[in-house]
Chain A
Amino acid sequence: MASKVGIIVVVLAIASIYGAMAVFHTISESHRSAALELFSPVTGSFSSLEEAYEALRTLEVLGIKKKPDVKDHTCKSVVDTLSSVSSNSKDLYHALQVNGLLTCTISKGALTDVVSRLKEAVKDATSLLDYYHSVGGLLLVKHQNSEVDVILENADGILRSIKALSQSDGRWRYSSNNPESSTYAAGLAFETISGVISLAASPVDENLIGTLKKDIVKLFDSIEKYDDGSYYFDDKHIDASGHQGLLSATSAVVRGLTKFASTSESLNIPEDKILGLARFFLGVGVPGNSKDLYYQIDALSHLENNRVSVPLILSLPATVLSLTCKDKLKVKVSTVLGSTAPPLSVKLMQVFSSGSKDASVLRQELHFDPKEAIYTLDALPEGVDIGEYIFAFEIVLSDPEHKRKFATGGRTKVPVHVTGVVKVDNAKVAVLEGDIVESEKKLVLPGKNDLSLSANHLQKLQLSFVLTTPSGKPFKPHQAFLKLRHETGVEHIFIVGNSGKHFEITLDFLGLVEKFYYLSGQYDTVLTVGDAVMENSFLQPLGSIELDLPKAPEKAPQPPPQAVNPYSRYGPKAEIAHIFRAPEKRPPQEVSFAFLGLVLVPFLGFLVGLLRLGVNLKNFPTSPVPATFAILFHGGIAAVLLLYAFFWLKLDLFTTLKTLGVIGIFLMFVGHRTLSHLASASAKLKSA
């Protein structure tokens, strides 16, 4: 049992050392430039009053001046919204928020009208957002114009109806008929409650305020934590505007909390939680969108001076110190927005080196420079050599009264790297035959070396050197490699082992013959020694060694193929010229013409033969009608032949067929007439 408890204690101790360790930086120029970039309206004016308010508030907190032309346009929009009848309490609330920053000129009559409308809205309110907007609007009017009368009559009743929406775990619901609760709503509720309290006509019932304080404390029980010591609220449900997230929920709670604390004393929130919330917002860095930036800056401005406790941030401008440059450790303590802290002293309590859990308690006080508001450690504690350390600081406030007002957070642990030059001594390379040194050469590291050794497979290569830190202690770097590269490109890398300060590697070539793929030839040697805290890390070519290895046997593994130059493999290839089909050999034109003439000769022979046979046209009809038909018949045949000639020369088949059809029908008719006439004529002749 006791041993178990002991183990748990040890584990917790280790966790507490490695936990809560990080570097937080306060608001800086990077936030300002991001704000200018994100919040400059694209079209010259903001798209809604809510966005206008977010932009103007962020710019105001960061100390950036507004442009006057934006003010005119936005003021006009504000005045329009406040005087318009159709605006609901949400629009009025946003308009009044913007007015608070821009101080547009609004007539007292308009304001009174707005106040009466908001008071009506309070009476009719049912959901949390109704209360939030209407009460918030009334509070804004009170701050902007003290002449207008803004007093809430039934403060107790309003508080009770808001309280009715709360839940037992500290969250709030948006309305009575929506069971979903959210932390963001809780933040809005606190803000509304504080508004009601400050606007109340008569002092509010103390018991009621007491139960509300208990609700806030209960909500803080559900706070979540990161390992680096930041606290935040997570919201599992989407808030009213649809923008879900840690930033919006945590920012709303911070706003509500600080506003509530400003209306009443003695709110019991532990100071490490407030400091954790500040760390959360600072740990976000510079958000990428305008809404997140607004939430971050708005929450930080509320944390800057609130009545619960003001967080003080300890930050290091530089976490890497160089022993060679004799850098001094500098520490800055300020509020979240970067303003000066109250008088205090910073003590360096412990220095843990990486990997060790124990460290002596130092209690070294840092020297304060009022001009730059920086605390400096004059000299690093003894025994701080190069390496990674965790420095534990403690802030002690000069005025004991301030202890209640400010949150310092006890011990703050910061990781620091201390770098320096590592000395390389006694570097030498030797070729050993058995145990006898055959040839030895001294090396200058880091520096140019040009070795040319030769060895065969029966010998060994030995490289050794000594590494010491600036204070003379042994040093083990992250990287100590020896690389041998063959002329074909095959590489082998070996790790140089050490014992204390002495680093040595022995390459026994007899055992490495197979690993080297039996490749003999020249090997370039490169020594690499490097570490994060070593300022003179080097990658040093040492020269070359000529290795004589035996020939590879049959089944030896082949060396891996080297990477192909991508330009040769994927580059353009040789151009291929297309080889066209050689045209057929045609006969010379004279031969063709000769045969053309020759082909026509039988036709002439035919005509001559006809004449010799004594052909006559006696049977051609003489009377006009049959003669006409006969002529048309011959004409028709001639037309068809002409059509064929055209078909060969120019026409396509379809037009030819169409025309042929026409001529054919004509020809049939005419031919039938002619031939039947001829037939009847010859029949008459026979019978006669």
Chain B
Amino acid sequence: MARSGTTTKDDAHALFHSLRSAYSAIPTNLKIIDLYVVFAVLTALIQVVYMAIVGSFPFNSFLSGVLSCVGTAVLAVCLRIQVNKENKEFKDLPPERAFADFVLCNLVLHLVIMNFLG
């Protein structure tokens, strides 16, 4: 009987708050990685909007730009999975090793991107 007074709006608020507090609890390095992913995706979106406005004339440049952002976002997500301590699968993998993989893969991705950029 005590719950009847709550509306959907209140439920949404409560959900939002709980998510927010849960998110604040995670370690900082994961937050850094999340921020990096958001930055990469935003950059990709801006490039798509630009292409939508002016047309896709140097199509290779557009593709390389977008794929660079998307690729680096994907690699960051992989890094996050590997670094996250709650992930039992990667318990034995030292985070420095994961970071080294991240750097290497990014460098290779960007070599290909630079070649395709034209």
Contacts and interface: CB of A to CB of B under 8 A. Distances in A.
A679 B94 contact: yes
A647 B116 CA distance: 11
B83 to A, nearest CB: 12
Given A587-B53, A606-B36, A675-B96, A644 B110 contact: yes
Contact of B43 (A599, A641, A648, A664): A599
Interface string A294-312: 0000000000000000000
Nearest to B50: A595
A598 B46 contact: yes
A605 B96 contact: no
A678 B42 CA distance: 32
B107 A640 contact: yes
Interface in B62-118: 94, 96-97, 99-100, 103, 107, 110-111, 114-115, 117
Interface string A628-649: 0000000001001100100110
Nearest to A663: B107
B35 A610 contact: yes
B12 interface: no
A610 B32 contact: yes
Contacts of A614: 28
A591 interface: yes
Interface in A23-81: none
A85 interface: no
B76 to A, nearest CB: 11
B46 A602 contact: yes
A602 B42 contact: yes
Contacts of B117: 648
B22 interface: no
B17 interface: no
A605 B28 contact: no
B103 to A, nearest CB: 7
Q: Give the size category of B's interface with A.
A: 20 to 34
A609 interface: yes
Given A591-B54, A599-B47, A609 B111 contact: no
A675 B99 contact: yes
Contact of B103 (A637, A648, A660, A678): A637
Given A613-B31, A637-B103, A647 B50 contact: no
Given A586-B57, A606-B36, A644 B42 contact: no
Given A586-B57, A599-B47, A644 B111 contact: yes
Contacts of A641: 110
A598 B46 CA distance: 7
Nearest to B64: A648
Contacts of B39: 602-603, 605-606, 609
A644 B64 CA distance: 14
Interface in A643-673: 644, 647-648, 653, 656, 660, 664, 671-672
A671 B46 contact: no
Given A602-B43, A613-B28, A660-B111, A671 B35 contact: no
Contact of B115 (A606, A609, A653): A653
A16 interface: no
B28 A591 contact: no
A610 B34 CA distance: 11
A664 B103 CA distance: 11
A198 B118 CA distance: 108
B114 A644 contact: yes
Interface on chain A toward B: helix, strand, loop, or mixed SS? helix
Nearest to B96: A675
A124 interface: no
Contact of A615 (B32, B54, B100, B111): B32
Nearest to A656: B111
A427 B28 CA distance: 129
Given A613-B31, A614-B28, A644-B111, A605 B42 contact: yes
A585 interface: yes
B72 to A, nearest CB: 12
B105 to A, nearest CB: 13
A584 interface: yes
Contacts of B55: 584-585, 587
Nearest to A607: B39
Interface in B37-55: 38-40, 42-43, 46-47, 50, 53-55
Contacts of B53: 587, 591
A587 B111 contact: no
A548 B24 CA distance: 113
Of A602, A603, A641, A678, chain B has the most CB atoms within 10 Å of the CB of A602
Contact of A671 (B36, B54, B100, B115): B100
B114 A613 contact: no
A606 B46 contact: no
Contacts of A664: 107
Contacts of B35: 606, 609-610, 613
Contacts of A675: 96-97, 99-100
Contacts of A609: 35, 39
Contacts of B28: 613-615
A87 interface: no
Contacts of B31: 613
A585 B56 CA distance: 10
Contacts of A592: 54
A613 B32 CA distance: 8
Nearest to A676: B96
Contacts of A595: 46, 50
Nearest to A678: B96
A586 B53 CA distance: 11
A457 B32 CA distance: 110
A614 B27 CA distance: 12
Nearest to A600: B43
Contacts of B32: 610, 613, 615
Contacts of B114: 644, 647-648
Nearest to A651: B114
* 10 shortest interchain CB distances as A-B pairs: A587-B54, A606-B39, A675-B96, A602-B42, A595-B50, A609-B35, A679-B96, A584-B57, A644-B114, A602-B39
Interface of B: 28, 31-32, 35-36, 38-40, 42-43, 46-47, 50, 53-55, 57, 94, 96-97, 99-100, 103, 107, 110-111, 114-115, 117
18 contacts: A584-B55, A585-B55, A591-B53, A592-B54, A598-B50, A599-B46, A602-B43, A609-B35, A613-B35, A644-B110, A644-B111, A647-B111, A647-B114, A648-B114, A656-B111, A672-B100, A675-B96, A675-B97
Given A587-B54, A679-B96, 20 more contacts: A584-B55, A585-B57, A587-B53, A587-B55, A592-B54, A595-B46, A595-B50, A602-B38, A602-B42, A602-B43, A610-B35, A640-B107, A644-B110, A647-B114, A648-B114, A656-B111, A664-B107, A675-B100, A676-B96, A682-B96
